[in-house]
Copies of this chain bind each other. A is one copy, B any other.
Amino acid sequence: MIPTPYLLFLGDAPDQLAAKVAQGIKDWRPENAVGQLRLPGCGADVGLTDMTLEEAKEAGAQTLVIGVANRGGVISQAWKEVLVKALEMGYDLASGLHNLLRDENDLVAAAKVNGRTLHDVRIPSVAYPIANGVKRSGKRCLAVGTDCSVGKMYTGLAMDAEMRKRGMKSTFRPTGQTGILITGGGVPLDAVVADFMAGAVEYLTPDNDDDHWDHIEGQGSLYHVSYSGVTMALVHGGQPDALVLSHEPTRAHMRGLPDYQQPSLEDLRDTALAMARVANPACQVIGISVNTQHLSEDEATAYLKEVEDRMGLPTVDPFRHGAGRLVDALEGL
């Protein structure tokens, strides 16, 4: 686990989109962030108090999180002065960039001298077991997509937030670097060695109270040929009791694969449910989450109604309309 609370480093982010990791932390775990630190020329603002390293330390911050992604995912030389100073002041550093903190000699040296930890959340820090398939107590929900990047993480975070608002027992279980930075822990599943993928998901979602729900962050798609193996490990390692189908209706083709079309929601439902029932025969598809960001309000409403009528399942855009109806659908399970 990464020590919280954080100070969010926005650096010299050119625009708001470059700060989406920091924005995710602010949106979903505001209690995890005491403020933001911006360098001159920063074009992003996640709406937290601007603080110096000293001010944030005073406010209790324990880790400086690199909440910005620049082109190529590199650690800019312009950031180094702040990062080294943070280590000297007793901060840990955390990053989800491709360019690892541990590959920067000056950061490694400063961390060592000051007894601090560099958290590269893209790299597994645990020797995960091989999955044993043994039935675990507690309930689990997994979003499976017609494609990559259709809103699976958002769906899981929104359902978790809604359940906790209702006083239900719920935990969001991150499987990618953004989710791990938001919550402070998880499994970077796409970086796990093949044999241990499903075991890593079992590790992430252990036995729990019978009325507790894990919302497991989905990855990839069973229909995305580059990443389908990762998705399969989630379906089997996660032993979900409930699946949510996630979809983005305006894609011309599968993400990054110009020759591939998205499957229908019917095909996704049938395939994912059959595979999920290998690990959990009681699994149900409980609803559909649609990312309607590229549709007008009227188009979105019409599309959601059409899908809901066709599929006979609660169909919502959790960003526009909240995840309440998806959580309602879990209550009977």
Among A110-150, those with CB < 8 Å from B are 130-135
Checking B226, B233, B257 against A228 with a beta-carbon cut-off of 8 angstroms, the contacting residue is B233
Determine the chain B residues whose CB is within 8 A of the CB of A236 once the complex forms: 225-226, 228-229
> Is A333 on the interface with B (CB-CB < 8 A)?
no
**Closest beta carbon of chain B to A268's beta carbon, Å:** 11
Residue A192 CB within 8 A of the other chain:
yes
Q: Is the CB of B226 within 8 A of A229?
A: no
Nearest-neighbour CB distance to chain B for A238, whole angstroms, equals 10
**A227 proximity list for chain B (CB < 8 A):** 195, 198
Interfacial chain B residues near A237, Cβ < 8 Å:
225
- A274 located at the interface, meaning its Cβ lies under 8 Å from any Cβ of chain B in the complex: yes
Contact between A275 and B271, CB atoms less than 8 A apart = yes
CA distance A193 to B226 in the complex (A): 12
| Inter-subunit contact B194/A197 (CB<8 Å) | yes
B194→A226 contact, CB < 8 A = no
Among A134, A222, A225, A236, the most chain B Cβ lie within 10 Å of the Cβ of A225
User: A interface, by DSSP: helix, strand, loop or mixed?
Assistant: helix
Q: Does A7 contact B (CB under 8 A)?
A: no
CA–CA, A257 to B271, complex, Å?
22
A194 touching B190 in the complex, CB below 8 Å, given contacts A228-B232, A229-B230, A275-B271: yes
How distant is the Cα of A233 from the Cα of B275 in the complex, in angstroms? Answer: 15
Q: Please provide the chain A residues from 171 to 200 with a CB less than 8 Å away from any CB of chain B in the complex.
A: 189-195, 197-199
Contact yes or no, A225 B194, CB < 8 A: no
Q: How often does this chain occur in the complex, in copies?
A: 2
A169 to B3, CA, bound (A): 58
Q: Tell which of B131, B225, B229 touches A133, judged by Cβ atoms closer than 8 Å.
A: B225
* B190 and A195 within 8 A (CB): yes
A229 and B274: CB pair below 8 A? no
Decide if B195 touches A193 in the complex (CB within 8 Å).
no
Which of chain B's residues have a CB closer than 8 A to the CB of A198? 225-229
Residue of B nearest to A225 (CB): B236
Bound-state Cα–Cα, A274 to B266, Å: 13
A138 to chain B, nearest CB (A): 17
* A259 CB-CB contact with B under 8 Å: yes
Q: Which residues of B contact A109 (CB under 8 A)?
A: none
Is there contact, CB below 8 Å, between B228 and A133? Answer: no
Q: How far is the CB of A41 from chain B (nearest CB, A)?
A: 33
A133 adjacent to B259 (CB under 8 Å): yes
Q: Could you tell me the distance between the alpha carbons of A2 and B233 in the complex, rounded to whole angstroms?
A: 32
Interface CB pairs A-B, < 8 A, 21? A131-B226, A132-B257, A133-B226, A133-B257, A189-B194, A190-B193, A190-B194, A191-B195, A192-B193, A193-B194, A194-B194, A195-B226, A195-B230, A199-B226, A222-B275, A228-B235, A229-B230, A229-B232, A229-B236, A232-B232, A263-B278
- Complex A-B, nearest 9 residue pairs according to Cβ-Cβ distance, in ascending order: A229-B233, A225-B236, A229-B229, A190-B195, A232-B232, A131-B226, A229-B232, A133-B225, A133-B257
